Amino acid sequence: MVAQDQEASHWTTEYLPLGPPASTWCRVRWKGGGNLRTPAGLGLRMDEQLIGRVTHYFPQIEVAAIAVEHGELRMDDTIRVIGHTSNFTQKIHSMEMDYAPVTVAGPGDLVAVQVAERARVNDQIYRIRAHEPLEV
């Protein structure tokens, strides 16, 4: 763990390694106490769970084929696509399996999801869940 502390500032920044594909995670802490765990400082904790990976991308219709390997993927879930050159977050509005709309996909399923930006083969898909606000 690497900590940076500037004497002129009242902020401390810690970088904790997560491993591939995300290289670092930043937590900002006010020296007077309490944590600000989101960039907006809302006090919400965000958890990311690895769900699967992109197996193919169809640029004409902006759809990514996702192999679900862990957990479940549901309609209206917020996902994060992370890869060598990709890094974006979006909500799932359209999901299909074998040309039929589905609401839930589990391990071993191959689903097509319409994405907001270009996804690449082997990009990792994370499901993001927000928890209750922290007591500060």
Tokens of 126: 């994370």
| Residue 67 neighbours by CB under 8 Å, 6+ apart | 52, 53, 54, 55, 109, 110
Tell me the domain boundaries of the chain. Answer: 2-44, 45-131
Q: Does domain 45-131 have CATH number 3.40.50.620?
A: no
Q: How many other CB atoms sit within 10 Å of the CB of residue 51?
A: 22
Q: Is the peptide bond before 17 cis (omega within 30 degrees of 0)?
A: no
Q: Tell me, what's the pLDDT at 135?
A: 58
Local structure of residue 135 (DSSP, 8 states) = P
Residue 111 is which amino acid? Answer: V
Is the Cα dihedral 45, 68, 74, 93 positive or negative?
A: positive
Q: Tell me, what's the pLDDT at 131?
A: 62
pTM listed for this prediction:
0.63
The answer to whether 94 touches 58, Cβ cutoff 8 Å, is no
Digit-coded pLDDT (tens) for 36-60: 444 444 444 568 889 999 999 999 9
